[in-house]
Structure 1
Amino acid sequence: MRSRANSGLVNNLNDGLTWGVFPLLFTDHGLGLAVVGLVKGLYPILWGLGQIPTGHLSDRIGRKPLIVVGMLVQAAGFVLALALLDTPLLAGLLSSVALGLGTAMVYPALIASVSDHAHPAWRTGALGTCRFWRDIGYAVGALVAGVLADALGLNATVVAAAVLTAGSGVLAARWISEHESGR
């Protein structure tokens, strides 16, 4: 369960971090507040809507591929945010699309994976524990964003998020199994 908890924490850390960093990053590069709101709003819209098809997809191809690829797609979203800063609107939109789609891949697959591996007698406890670690990621993301941005700057904070997210995807590839022992 450690990799599922890690992936969930980092997944939500990304959201908390982007709420703090993206508005500052993109306004520093010339975008107005309304456009920043659009950029930041696109991420959860795609995440929310995307969970419907990705949840069905995880039932067909398995949980692990979506968790691993989803984390790597989110990491790519952070890379895009910095790589395209010369065109900040494009950077914001493409990074939000990648972050939203990556999160949509991860979210339903993580919960299903925990359920797959938890015996019915302790499934609720397993889900509660994994959701605790996932949901604490919002607060951790906000704290990390503030500390890193203050100490190292906005760009370094985005790089740190990309590295952390890619690392979480690599750990998921290594540690998560598709074996369904809880049924």
Structure 2
Amino acid sequence: MSEKIRLGLKENWLQFTILVIVNAFVGGMVGLERTIFPKFAELEFGIASKTAVLSFIVAFGVTKAVSNYFAGRLANNFGRKNLLTIGWLFAIPIPFILMNASSWNWVVFANVLLGINQGLAWSSTVVMKIDLVGEKDRGFAMGINEFAGYLSVGIVAYFSGVIAQNYGISPYPFYLGIGISTLGLLLSILFVKDTRAFVNKEQGDSTSGQLNNVFTETTLKDKTLSSVTQAGLVNNLNDGMIWGLLPILLVSLNYNSKEIGIIAAIYPAVWGIGQLFTGKMADIYSKKKMLFFGMLLQGVAILLIPYLTGYFELIVIAAILGLGTALVYPTFLSAIAEATNPTQRAESIGVFRLWRDLGYAIGAILSGIIADLFGIEYAILSIGLITILSSMVIRFRMPSEIHP
């Protein structure tokens, strides 16, 4: 059987396509909450505190981060497909809990389940695609993967906003979640195949050295891995702020649910579509330069939000922010994969995704506290400055060439 295993995108296009579709459903589960949750919190539960509202993002970020780490640790032993299937099982109850929540604690609990779903399912699809394609098309593969996931976030964010505008904030938008989770689970069980044999094939051809300690090297010691990891954390730190505070800011500016849905959807949609191109760029151009300019562009866009509050101005800012994120997102994963041995890749990606998605929780807590103490504008400006500082870490710490 090992002779039949060939690495490459063309060679494995059918299984790759199935994984792309599955990851679109994974992203759709996040899009369900992207537009409507701050208003959902206020109308259904009377919660106005920014810190309290953002508690659902904290719950999501922490559980997704921990799930990412364990997905990376368990992928080799337990199997990629098994982790993907288990991830979808955690998604099934989420829309039912949201529709019937009697208190905000139930909403937070639903986001714990969502974090586990995203950590296990998204991590599994990432690792499986990297397994299938080999070194040559790795960035392109990550671009397609993240394109599918985040375009789906944007599409579902838009439709949940439209449904909320026309039919109310609950329960109708959450019906989307029932369909998404059911189809994702069925596709994973019936059509996805495990990719462990592809890792064994690549390992036989690899000359990459082993890391002494995957966790500490990825987190702190290795200049390439740790630079990428801190940027991933800050990327999701600012995404957590945008997710939680942008809809609140737009409500305060008297935008309706449909308009908020459009603005909130532009960012992940550009982020998603852009990765079709930036993923391939990461296979050709300097990963360091792409990460530096992407983080810098994000920071500048965020700093403009409090000063340019017109509808079309905010749409342009959302598009710029999406472009900056598109430059870095597939490049993160491609750089981590290139800098690690194939047998340690899943674990290193798991560590990276642990820190990256803790950024959601840190961003939500930090921006929520600053917003409650000083106002939303100061919270947004603070996160923008942190993002620009992160770009400087890439500029001055990360080596120009990646040597595994």
The answer to whether the superposition gives a TM-score over 0.5 is: yes
Aligned to 1:173: 395
| TM-aligned CA distance change 1:80 to 1:91, over 3 Å | farther
The answer to whether 1:153 aligns with 2:375 is: yes
Q: How many angstroms does 1:145 deviate by?
A: 2.1
Aligned to 1:132: 354
Q: Distance in 2 between matches of 1:123 and 1:175?
A: 22
Distance (Å, rounded) in 1 between the aligned partners of 2:244 and 2:317: 15
**Alpha-carbon distance in structure 2 between the residues aligned to 1:149 and 1:10:** 18
Paired residues, what number?
180
Does the alignment pair 1:28 with 2:252?
yes
Q: What displacement does 1:169 show?
A: 0.6
Q: What CA deviation, in whole Å up to 9, does each residue of 1:66-109 have, x standing for no partner?
A: 11111011112112212212x2x133212211111111111011
| Residue equivalent to 1:46 | 270
Instruction: Please give the residue correspondences for 1:1-183 in structure 2 after superposition, counting only pairs within 5 Å.
Output: 1-85=225-309, 87=310, 89-182=311-404
Identity %: 32
Counterpart amino acid of residue 105 in structure 1: L
Larger RCO: 1 or 2 (CA < 8 Å, sep 6+)? 1
2:339 partner letter = H
Deviates more, 1:28-37 or 1:64-73: 28-37
SS of residue matched to 1:122: helix
Would you say the 8 A contact 2:267–2:321 is kept in 1? Answer: yes
- Report the CA distance between 1:14 and its aligned residue: 1.4
Alpha-carbon contact 1:45-1:100 (below 8 Å) kept? yes
Instruction: Give RMSD over aligned pairs.
Output: 1.3
CA–CA separation in structure 1 for the residues paired with 2:396 and 2:338: 18
* Whole-angstrom CA distance in 2 between matches of 1:51 and 1:30: 32
Larger Rg: 2
Name stretches of at least 5 consecutive residues in structure 2 with no aligned partner.
1-224
Q: Distance in 2 between matches of 1:82 and 1:91?
A: 11
**Superposition TM-score, scaled by structure 2 size:** 0.43
Alpha carbons 2:303, 2:385 under 8 Å: kept:
no
Give the direction of change, closer, same or farther, for the CA distance of 1:181–1:119 in structure 2 (3 Å limit). Answer: farther
Q: Distance in 2 between matches of 1:171 and 1:94?
A: 27
Paired residues of 1:66 and 1:106 also in contact (CA < 8 A)? yes
Where structure 1 has 5 or more consecutive residues not aligned to the other structure, the ranges are: none
1:22 is displaced (CA, Å) by 0.7
**Whole-angstrom distance in 2 between the partners of 1:153 and 1:141:** 15
